[in-house]
Structure 1
Amino acid sequence: MSILLPAISEDTGTSVDTLQWAVTGYSLMGAAVIVTSGSLGDVFGRKKVFQLGLLLFVASCVFIALSTTGLAVIVGRIIQGAAGATILACGLSILTVANEGREQLRAVSLWGAAAAIGAAAGPLVGGVLVDFTGWQGLFWIDAVVAVVCMVISYFAIQESRDEGRSRSIDYLGTVLVALTLSPIVLATAQGPQWGWVSIPTLVCVVVSVASGFAFVFTEKRVAVPLLDLALLRNVVLVASTAAILIGAGTINGLMYLLSLYFQNPDALGMTPFQAGLAMLPATVGLVVVAPLVPRFAAKIGGRKVVALGFLITAIGFAVVGFVQPSWLYLSFVLPLIAIAVGMGLSNGPASAAATASVSQEQVGAASGVSNMARYVGAAVATALAATIYSSVITARTDAGVDMSGALASGLAAASWVMAGLSLAGVLMAFLLRKHRMPRGTLADAAAAAAAHTHTLPTTASGAGEGAELPRR
């Protein structure tokens, strides 16, 4: 989506700063509904809810493609976030229920591979369509693909549900998650304009904190909570979830920043197609390294792989932090690859640690926490990166610096923050030292990491044949 923002901005007359909510809003809605949509599938039928998610996705694509204002695009993307989260949650449940043993692993590996290919091809395809059909073309094609998926899934998938599960759904918890996250992200994005101690900013903070307390109060009392608060006493789960959040946040922040920087005429001045092509080293790096991760984790331990991955990512971001207006595209290639390889190394074992740290009965809940963390990380980091980028650009231009220099300064500042977050990921890996899981468990579970990678896709094709995924 980030690759389309300059074109949408030009067509609708909406600033790119405002349109970042098309990226952030998608992730916020996904974070709010990812667990609930999975629960709805368990209760009312996974196939039925999966197809409803596809139908909602089609509707959102058509709505966005027909939009003539930036606000309409943002609203459509928020709706699309709910659809995407539903497709992810129920699609994975369908795969795990329909297969067992090696076939289950193979099915989820194919799921991860498809996600990785989509991530690699997405910026390039989006760039091509913007150049030849306008930005609307991508959403029309997405709508057609989703309709085809609806037809195939209708005939190919058998209905399934969890007959023993309580039919209680924590709708209030879903609302409170949205009310906790949205105001704080809004305050982050608008703080420079409103003032960090202004009334609107403080109101957002108060609403967010109050909603957070209300969420905790509610989760302690509902029959089937959205989040089992007892899981938060699990140090491994908390640390691995924080690592997942950081990883998803930094890679999404990077994609957002570079999509804008590469296309800006005062920076590299690329066309959307060229910018999409320029992002391929990052996505290809993720695809290439992912099959190697399970065996690497088995050899040296998952926590070491997580720490190494975040360290490499931090170095990559630090290199970008020295960006100068004179840099050509080739100067970005190596740090892009480093960031991608680091993310590929840390993502799988962190996901594995999250699911391996709980009992079989809690795997579904732990996976839900991990998925929510990815969406939260993507939303918060994108908003933070956008705020830093635009604020530094404004400050530098006000100080008399030319636009090319201001743009480089904005990218550098945001990259240093992403580097700092990556170093925090290294610290999260060290928290796993006192709670080390068996290496075999981590390696096998790393193969299932593709099941939890909507905002940071990888593939698990390098897993051992004997591995079996935890069942929900």
Structure 2
Amino acid sequence: MDNQAAVSTRAGGVLAATCISTLVVNANTSAVSILLPAISEDTGTSVTTLQWAVTGYSLVGAAVIVTSGSLGDVFGRKRVFQLGLLLFVISCVLIALAQTGGMVIAGRVIQGAAGATILACGLSLLSVANDGEEQLRAVSLWGAAAAVGAAAGPLLGGLLVDFTGWQGLFWIDAIVAVLCMVLTFMTVSESRDPNRPRSIDYAGTVLIAATLTPLIFAFTKSGDWGWLSAATLGCFAVSIAAGYAFIVVEGRVAVPLLDLALLRNRVLVGSTIAILIGAGTINGLMYLLSLYFQDPATLNFSPLEAGLATLPATIGLVVVAPLVPKLAAKFGGRQTIGVGFLLTTIGFVIVGFTEASWEYAAFLLPLVLIAVGMGLSNGPASSAATAAVPQSQVGGASGVSNMARYVGAAVATALAATIYGTVIANQTADGAAQADALASGLAGAAWLMAIFSFLGVLMALVMKRHRPPAGTLDDAAASAAAALHTLPTSATAGVGTGR
């Protein structure tokens, strides 16, 4: 085999390993909410407690997503990518064998670290294995695989619950991850960044977790403790103290997790807030609908039916997103983001009027509005994050926006779950029927999501103008993946116009 053919083979191996792994990770992540009622019934753990299987994953992902990329740059991207796959296999086996909800949650926490590592190092491997147009094509395919995985996850999870039990998803994912490890070993070459300092911001990673954990714990337990109780206020105090310590540490370390200078960039800050709101509201919605649709007192859907019922939100977002770059190029990124959040707000407001008598058809319009709105806001916001900074800061800006997705998902899901559970408990205590209490819980959480989405509209109004992408095929793929990961677009500094 000549050298050119060998290079082509290695690039193909990297593409296959990274695309398959990101598809599996994102499908697994989006499927878990559908599985929670089945896991609850099997383990005897309340769905309220199992909420940590969702928020714990996002919390750890937020802390690890940037650090894992740094570890790959210093110690070898292939090595750290393989470690991420190994952790993913271990977590899947742990969850599949779990007899208690605590084991499921522990497995998901490990999975949060594994998933973030696979995504961060996989994208790095893909970028260094290709150049120019081939790099854009490979990254675009990676983004498309991520989007397909996220859209297919709830349906796949629901299907497997009916045929294999909820454990089937994790056994299959473990097998696929092992195959990816073998493929990576055989076809992927090791790579490092020789120019990067070897310093790793471990303290920043710990402080991110220390900031988010008590915050989410306070949200989760506030219904039992009371918002003004000593325990709740104590959790908030610890979170604030850890957040302050994080800022101090980031200003002193050689290679910070977060370059504080980036926070002076209004476009980057605005786009990061938009990404955080978008990721938070869509994750909160999917968590709530997965529970509401399957509850015997409401629609009493099977897991498969619930997975099918969420398709308008997941597939709708993926279908709309590739069309968005051309709209942003024509009408402006800020305008597109603002209209997107406006549609999302309207969708959540409609859900805010949920009644126990609603059939599934009543949810279709708001789901479509939310999906279209998310598609309109995610792509331009993600593009703006990397377009607003010089080429030397693109990696840092991407890291900030990717961390924001995990933070938004963790915090918003915890808040939505808290409101949902608190309203249901209060309504039940007042003598309301179970179906009415559940509808009121969903409505209350939806109003919170509507407020968050409307803040996105206001943010778009004050956000500075930025250069939108040209609307190429690569831009369309980046937009489709924008709900999951920030990818470069034709507007990014140092990136060509693409195809």
- TM normalised by structure 1 equals 0.95
Count of aligned pairs: 464
Query: Match for 2:364 among 326, 333, 338?
Result: 333
Report the Cα distance in structure 1 between the residues aligned to 2:450 and 2:320, rounded to whole angstroms: 20
Of 431, 456, 459, the match for 1:400: 431
Match of 2:467 in 1: 438
**CA apart distance, 1:259:** 0.1
Deviation at 1:468, TM superposition (A): 3.4
Number of the residue aligned with 1:351: 382
Q: Which residue of the partner structure matches residue 342 of structure 1?
A: 373
CA distance in structure 2 between the partners assigned to 1:88 and 1:39 by the alignment: 13
Q: Give the direction of change, closer, same or farther, for the CA distance of 1:469–1:266 in structure 2 (3 Å limit).
A: farther
Instruction: Give me the whole-angstrom Cα distance separating, in 2, the residues matched to 1:88 and 1:236.
Output: 25
Offset of residue 371 of structure 1: 0.5
- Relative to structure 1, the CA distance from residue 446 to residue 397 in structure 2 (aligned partners, 3 Å threshold; closer, same or farther) is same
Pick closer, same or farther for the CA change 1:440–1:184 going to 2, 3 Å. closer
How far is 1:443 from its partner?
7.4
* Matched-pair contact (CA < 8 Å) for 1:291–1:462: no
Residue of 292, 308, 317 corresponding to 1:277: 308
Equivalent position to 2:156, from 113, 116, 125: 125
- Report whether the alignment pairs 1:319 with 2:319: no
Q: Would you say the 8 A contact 1:290–1:344 is kept in 2? A: yes
Secondary structure of the residue aligned to 1:23 is helix
Q: Distance in 2 between matches of 1:439 and 1:116?
A: 21
CA contact (8 A) 1:26 1:80 kept: yes
Q: 1:225-245 CA deviation, whole Å, 9 max, x = no partner?
A: 111111111111111100000
- Work out which of the residue numbers 252, 272, 278 in structure 2 matches 1:221: 252
Partner of 1:149: 180
Residue 200 of structure 1 is aligned with which of 223, 231, 238? 231
Change (3 A) 1:279 1:451: closer
Instruction: Rate the CA distance shift 1:451–1:161 in 2: closer, same or farther, 3 A.
Output: farther
Counterpart of 2:288 in structure 1 is 257
Q: Which of 164, 168, 188 is matched with 1:137 structurally?
A: 168
Q: Distance in 2 between matches of 1:138 and 1:438?
A: 42
Q: Contact 1:349/1:446 (CA < 8 Å) preserved in 2? A: no
Say which structure, 1 or 2, has more relative contact order (CA 8 Å, 6+ apart): 1
Whole-angstrom distance in 2 between the partners of 1:233 and 1:457: 25
Listed as ranges, the matches of 1:35-46 within 5 Å are 35-46=66-77
1:468 maps onto 2:495 in alignment = yes
- 1:176 aligns with 207
| Cα gap change, 1:451 to 1:342, in 2 (>3 Å) | closer
* 1:410 paired to 2:410: no
1:164 aligns with 2:195: yes
In the TM superposition, what is the alpha-carbon distance from 1:109 to its structure 2 partner?
1.5
2:82, 2:208 → 1: CA distance?
A: 25
Matched, 1:64 2:91: no
1:83 counterpart residue number: 114
Q: Which runs of 5+ in 1 are unaligned?
A: none
Deviation at residue 315 of structure 1 after TM alignment = 0.8
Distance 1:449 1:81 in 2: 23
Aligned to 2:24: none
Report the Cα distance in structure 1 between the residues aligned to 2:431 and 2:496, rounded to whole angstroms. Answer: 58
1:302 and 1:101 map into 2 onto residues whose CA distance is 26
1:439 deviates by 3.5
Other structure's SS at 1:363 match: helix
Counterpart for residue 456 of structure 2: 425
What is the distance in 2 between the residues matched to 1:83 and 1:292?
32
Is residue 307 of structure 2 the alignment partner of residue 242 of structure 1? no
In structure 2, relative to structure 1, the CA distance for the partners of 1:176 and 1:461 (3 Å cut) is: closer
Amino-acid identity (%): 69
Contact 1:356–1:442 (8 Å) recurs in 2: no
Opposite residue 275 of structure 2, the aligned amino acid is I
Counterpart in the other structure of 1:376: 407
**RMSD over equivalenced CA pairs, Å:** 2.1
